């Protein structure tokens, strides 16, 4: 079984969000199960570490149609963790200074990328049985396949899976681009059109053999307008081919037994090191030493992450006797709010504004509880990382949070609440504090969290099952 995984970002080469984590770890897990997995992504010349670029071999050069023009494309390759990586090279499109996306010509950049992936198959020694494309940037891959390529020599019998990581970004552009840039004849407008625009994600949902998303609950939720960013109408009609598989985390990388960022290592059987991590974390964040529970937040500050609820009852949480450690950046109102809370409780609230991976691991290890009250959450990795470090999650029951954190009351590993309501969140926090005060029970819960399995092994098997099922038809 040969699987080509198409993504606009992948760890360790270029990352802006969760897609890069998945594209970096799922293919590796597929390879471990005996699948021949390859990944294709753009060669972001200014972002990818030059040491990797130096290792890449150029294996093909050709031109790619973009509307009425032909653009140069080079394909480079390297092998990492038994996975072959292909890089689509065109400096005009991918040598940019300010991040991966957000340019005036993003539509054209990812039209080029998707079309180049299709063209590349003529030149490389890898004929996929299944192509798994991800998010709007690669959404045109299955569209080109089904409208322009599937009857061409060498392209027969490929199945297409499309995976939605973030339904908020759909690749919506003006209809006038259809021939001029996308290069698809106007007679196919109905495949790409949605609510008066071109919508790349909608087109992929339309034509793919299977649509997956990153948790079973989210696959259900996106049928509802509250979550769907407008795509529920098409998703409801394609429900028969949609499903959700929970993402995993890289449990070798996130491992408190070996993590070199931690002041002390520990395991589920011997958690003494976790107490050292807590003590050092309080010190690092300039907080008073003491045995009070430490509740942590590590996040982007975006609307759907639910910090509105935290703001409403922050003082009540503090009145329960907590210390808080917050790492994040994003919407200004939350940055300012947490900064003010640090001023209000200088020795009990620590706030670091920014993105800091090393500090995040010390917080996952040093905190007692991890708060994630998301309004919506396709999968969520932070709660799984917290569990891995024995830090008990407090989450709202939505999307992947619901699928990964079962309440302690149901013999699970965390504290959950259902309504998007600050009083409900507060009562979950209160329940956590009550159990924390029963120290022996808390120790057992924390060890149980560490033993929960969120490795990719289980989900990789689900993907393989899906690929095999598709390919037998
Ligand atoms: P999303 O992809 O929506 O941001 P996830 O929970 O799926 O949310 O993944 C977030 C990842 O980013 C986690 O690995 C988390 O530790 C990390 N992260 C988020 N904010 C920060 C930050 N400020 N500093 C370091 N790591 C962060």
| Residues 424-460 pLDDT 10s | 999 999 999 999 999 999 999 999 999 999 999 889 9
Best residue for ligand 1 mutational test, from 247, 300, 389 (most atoms within 8 Å of Cβ): 300
Q: Do residues 133 and 139 lie in contact, with contact meaning Cβ atoms separated by under 8 Å? A: yes
Average pLDDT over every residue of 138-163: 97
| Residue bearing the CA closest to ligand 1, atom 19 | 299
Rounded distance from Cα 207 to ligand 1 centre (Å): 32
Atom of ligand 1 nearest to the CA of 328: 23
Average pLDDT over every residue of 51-75: 97
Structure token pair of residue 238: 């394609």
Average pLDDT over every residue of 66-77: 97
Average pLDDT over every residue of 391-417: 97
Rounded mean pLDDT of the chain? Answer: 96
**pLDDT band with cut points at 50, 70 and 90 for residue 471:** confident
Rounded distance from Cα 382 to ligand 1 centre (Å): 6
Calculate what percentage of the chain has a pLDDT beyond 70: 100
Residue 21 vs residues 26, 72, 398: alpha-carbon distances, Å: 8, 29, 21
Report pTM.
Answer: 0.92
472 has a pLDDT exceeding 80: no
Rounded distance from Cα 75 to ligand 1 centre (Å): 31
193 has a pLDDT exceeding 90: yes
Q: Do residues 114 and 121 lie in contact, with contact meaning Cβ atoms separated by under 8 Å? A: no
Q: Of 174, 201, 203, which is closest to residue 188 (Cα–Cα)?
A: 203
Atom of ligand 1 nearest to the CA of 305: 3
Average pLDDT over every residue of 117-126: 97
Atom of ligand 1 nearest to the CA of 357: 25
Please report which residue ranges of 5-65 form alpha helices under DSSP H: 18-32, 50-55
Structure token pair of residue 12: 């360790």
Question: pLDDT of 395-406, one tens digit each?
Answer: 999 999 999 999
d(CA 140, CA 256): 40
DSSP element (H, E) containing 319: helix 307-319
DSSP element (H, E) containing 296: strand 294-301
Q: What is the pLDDT of residue 81?
A: 87
Q: Of 430, 394, 464, 325, which is closest to residue 30 (Cα–Cα)?
A: 464
Structure token pair of residue 34: 């005996």
Q: Of 179, 165, 47, which is closest to residue 101 (Cα–Cα)?
A: 47
d(CA 55, CA 76): 10
Rounded distance from Cα 4 to ligand 1 centre (Å): 26
Calculate what percentage of the chain has a pLDDT beyond 90: 95
Angle between helices 422-436 and 307-319 (to 10 degrees): 40
| Residue bearing the CA closest to ligand 1, atom 16 | 382
Question: pLDDT of 210-229, one tens digit each?
Answer: 999 999 999 999 999 999 99
Q: Of 51, 47, 49, 125, which is closest to residue 86 (Cα–Cα)?
A: 125
CA dihedral 282, 284, 287, 290 (to 10 degrees): 30
Ligand 1 pocket, residues with Cβ under 6 angstroms: 17-18, 298-300, 327-329, 355-357, 360, 379-382, 385
Q: Of 34, 44, 35, which is closest to residue 12 (Cα–Cα)?
A: 44
Q: What is the pLDDT of residue 199?
A: 98
**pLDDT band with cut points at 50, 70 and 90 for residue 357:** confident
Phi, psi dihedrals of residue 334, rounded to the nearest 5°:
-80, -35
Sign of CA dihedral 74, 78, 79, 85: negative
**pLDDT band with cut points at 50, 70 and 90 for residue 473:** low
The residue count of the chain comes to 473
Say whether 367 sits in a helix, a strand or coil: coil
Best residue for ligand 1 mutational test, from 11, 18, 373, 376 (most atoms within 8 Å of Cβ): 18
| Residue bearing the CA closest to ligand 1, atom 18 | 299
| Residue bearing the CA closest to ligand 1, atom 7 | 380
d(CA 135, CA 378): 13
Best residue for ligand 1 mutational test, from 166, 253, 299 (most atoms within 8 Å of Cβ): 299
Rounded distance from Cα 160 to ligand 1 centre (Å): 29
24 has a pLDDT exceeding 90: yes
d(CA 61, CA 122): 11
CA dihedral 290, 296, 298, 303 (to 10 degrees): -140
Structure token pair of residue 167: 């339904």
Q: What is the pLDDT of residue 342?
A: 98
């Amino acid at each position: 079984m040969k699987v080509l995984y198409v993504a606009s970002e992948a760890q360790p080469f270029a990352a802006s969000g969760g897609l890069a984590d998945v594209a970096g770890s799922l293919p590796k897990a597929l390879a471990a199960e005996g699948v021949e997995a390859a990944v294709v992504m753009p060669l972001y010349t200014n972002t990818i570490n030059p040491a990797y670029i130096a290792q890449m071999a150029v294996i093909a050069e050709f031109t790619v149609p973009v509307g009425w023009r032909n653009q140069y494309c080079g394909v480079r390759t390297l092998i990492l963790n038994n996975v072959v990586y292909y890089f689509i090279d065109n400096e005009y499109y991918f040598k940019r200074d300010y991040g991966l996306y957000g340019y005036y010509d993003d539509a054209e950049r990812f039209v080029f990328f998707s079309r180049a992936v299709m063209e590349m198959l003529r030149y490389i020694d890898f004929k996929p049985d299944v192509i798994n494309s991800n998010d709007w940037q690669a959404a045109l891959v299955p569209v080109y396949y089904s409208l322009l390529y599937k009857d061409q020599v060498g392209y027969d019998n490929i199945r297409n899976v499309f995976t939605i990581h973030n339904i908020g970004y759909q690749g919506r552009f003006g209809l006038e681009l259809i021939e001029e840039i996308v290069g698809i004849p106007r007679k196919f407008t109905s495949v790409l059109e949605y609510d008066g625009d071109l919508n790349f994600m909608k087109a992929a949902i339309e034509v793919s053999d299977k649509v997956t998303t990153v948790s079973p609950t989210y696959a259900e939720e996106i049928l509802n307008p509250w979550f769907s960013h407008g795509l529920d109408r098409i998703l409801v009609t394609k429900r028969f081919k949609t499903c959700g598989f929970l993402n995993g985390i890289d449990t070798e990388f996130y491992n408190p037994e070996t993590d070199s960022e931690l002041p002390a290592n520990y395991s589920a059987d011997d958690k003494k090191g976790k107490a050292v991590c807590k003590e050092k974390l309080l010190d690092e964040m300039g907080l008073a030493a003491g045995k009070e529970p430490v509740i942590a937040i590590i996040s982007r500050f975006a609307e759907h992450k639910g910090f509105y609820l935290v703001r409403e009852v922050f003082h009540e949480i503090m009145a329960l006797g907590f210390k808080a450690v917050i790492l994040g950046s994003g919407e200004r109102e939350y940055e300012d709010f947490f900064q003010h809370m640090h001023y209000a409780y200088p020795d009990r609230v620590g706030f670091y504004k920014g993105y800091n991976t090393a500090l995040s691991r010390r917080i996952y290890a040093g905190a007692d509880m991890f708060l994630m009250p998301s309004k919506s959450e396709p999968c969520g990795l932070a709660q799984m990382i917290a569990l891995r470090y024995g830090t008990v999650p407090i989450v709202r029951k939505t999307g992947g949070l619901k699928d990964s954190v079962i309440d302690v009351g149901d013999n699970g590993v965390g504290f959950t609440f259902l309504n998007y309501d600050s009083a409900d969140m507060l009562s979950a926090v209160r329940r956590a504090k009550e159990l924390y005060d029963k120290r022996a029970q808390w120790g057992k819960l924390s060890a149980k969290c560490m033993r929960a399995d969120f490795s990719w092994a289980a989900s990789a098997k689900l993907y393989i099952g899906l690929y095999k099922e598709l390919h037998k038809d």
